[in-house]
Structure 1
Amino acid sequence: MASSATVNPTDIIKVRQQLRTQTPGARANAFWSVGVEMARKEGIRSLAGGMSASMLREVVYSGIRMGTYELFKDKLHDASNGALSREGLPLKIMAASIAATIGSALANPADLVKGASFLRPLPYRNMRHAFATIYRDGAQAAIAAGTLSVAGGLRSLYRGVGPTTIRGIVLSGTQICSYDQIKQSLKKRGVMQEGVPLHFVASTFAGFFCSVTSNPVDVIKVRLMNDKNHQFKGAFDCVRQIMVNEGPFGFFKGFGMCWARLGTHTILTFLIYERVRYLFGIEAM
């Protein structure tokens, strides 16, 4: 939550960039141009939009994926009777993927509201109004189609859950696993010892790796979540349209802000995470 609050302005700018469809590299879509334009036209407070939804999302998403990672490592290691080595990447990737799948899927409604809170004009008065409106719109559409209103409301809240979950798996698979692996390698080779410097170095590399791998999925997720006019038939159609209309670099729109946000977020998360473990007498990750 602390990490998310710190990088919230970069997250807003990143979403605004990803929703734009100018030619890749156009100056008007540069992160500094988008940020300055927001501050000038909407006020500096616009860079703090969606804070409550971001906090709720982190409690569910990061709480589960970070909190259950080592639990699943232990469970998978025991289930394999030691065939999956604790030092190997397969065990780490599998554990991170399971934890991220659960966390990102459950957090999708908060993620949806968070993305909508970054838009202008604001589509909702507050977070409660956002959840209620999204659910009601889905329920009304379901009634009109002759199906259950509850199913329609839930389906509306879970719009884009596929790309959200895939992004969560990709991000956690590179972020948590690379942090774990880099930290383990540096300690094993005697380059660094357990402590803040080691946590900082490992999280810095992890932040870059997960920014590269998650940005394309993030672009698709943002487009689908904000596709109120049903421009896309699904994730694959979204990929096709981006490729045709914007080219391969369209998948890396907002990468500067993605790295600034996710890199900073990763460093702060692991530094705080390791410190909290230490304060509660838990062994370092």
Structure 2
Amino acid sequence: MLGLTASDAPPTVAVTIFSAGVAAGVADVITFPLDTAIVRLQVQCECQTSSAVRYKSVLGTITTLAKTRGPMKLYNGLPAGLQRQISFASLRISLYESIQEFFTTGKESNLGSRVSAGLTNGGVAVFIGQPTEVVKVRLQAPSSLHGPKPRYTGTYNAYRIIATTEGLMGLWKDDVPCHFVSAVIAGFCTTVLSSPVDVVKTRSVNCLPGRYTSVSDCAMLMLTKEGPSAFFKGFVPSFL
């Protein structure tokens, strides 16, 4: 049997981590203004000053912030955001296969090993990347949130002040519990929305020739013969 060529060989862990980090970083740069707008909308009711700018929509927030504070204000906290992607996304994406191999220990992969690998991989990534998330959000929030003067002068100043005034655990606020709850809710909502399409797709792919004339025909027959619950068969393993 011929050996793998350079183009066929799987990438090393280092290459995977680097590629995942760069990809996530580029995506973060593109979407960062949206992230900033979301943070501002979520915390604006906590502003102590009555003169604070009020935002009404994502686009309105981006436009108002760019006009009143300058376009670069939309990228406040970007260094922490990139650090988060490098530490969180790259590890979460690149180390999953290695962790899964550890749980399978030479055996065939099953649901239990995949769930264990996902929980371990996600937990490690969240623990390592959480300080960057805390700093990113605080820099994205309005500087007037806690008084007239800015809380921090920059990314590394924020790390230092949080660690010295709130202790090291201040950098891990709402770490695992918050991420776990949000992941469960997000996974549930995603499964609810995607399950009907996934079931129809599976049936269409697996059916004998002539069983269904089209995807819509498959969906209609499922609905009329089996009822709406047919679209959620296999929901539990999909959710897990």
Q: TM-score range by the shorter chain?
A: 0.5 to 0.7
| 1:98 is the counterpart of 2:32 | no
CA RMSD of aligned residues (A): 3.5
Question: Which residue of the partner structure matches residue 135 of structure 1?
Answer: 66
Partner in structure 1 of residue 160 of structure 2: 240
Provide Cα deviations, 1:111-153, integer angstroms capped at 9, x if missing partner: 1011122215183112222111111112xxxxxxxxxxxxx3x
Give the counterpart letter for 1:245 in structure 2: T
Please list the CA deviations of residues 56-87 of structure 1 after superposition, one character each: whole Å capped at 9, or x if unmatched.
Answer: xxxxxxxxxxxxxxxxxxxxxx9xx46xx626
Is 1:211 aligned to 2:126, yes or no?
yes
Partners of 2:106 and 2:133 in 1: CA distance? 35
Contact 1:204 1:263 (C-alpha < 8 Å) held by counterparts = no
Call closer, same or farther: CA 1:270–1:96 in 2, change over 3 Å. Answer: farther
Q: Check the 8 A contact 1:116/1:226 in 2, yes or no.
A: yes
1:129-180 per-residue CA deviation (whole Å, 9 max, x = no partner) reads 2111111112xxxxxxxxxxxxx3x312222111111112211122112323
TM norm structure 2? 0.63
Aligned-pair identity (%): 19
Is 1:181–2:98 an aligned residue pair? yes
Q: How many residues align?
A: 183
- 1:263, 1:179 → 2: CA distance? 17
Tell me if structure 1 keeps the 8 A contact 2:20–2:89. yes
Pair member with larger Rg: 2
- Kindly provide the amino acid, as one letter, of the partner of residue 109 in structure 2: Q
Decide which of 238, 247, 250 is 2:170's aligned counterpart.
250
| Alignment check: 8 A CA contact 2:123 2:176 kept | no
Q: Pick 1 or 2: higher relative contact order, CA cutoff 8 A, min separation 6.
A: 1
TM-score computed with the length of structure 1 as normaliser = 0.54
> Does residue 121 of the first structure (1) align with residue 41 of the second (2)?
no
**Residue 236 of structure 1: CA displacement?**
1.0
Deviations 1:171-218 (A, max 9, x none): 11221123232234445711x426x54442322222211110111111
Q: 1: CA distance between counterparts of 2:116 and 2:191?
A: 10
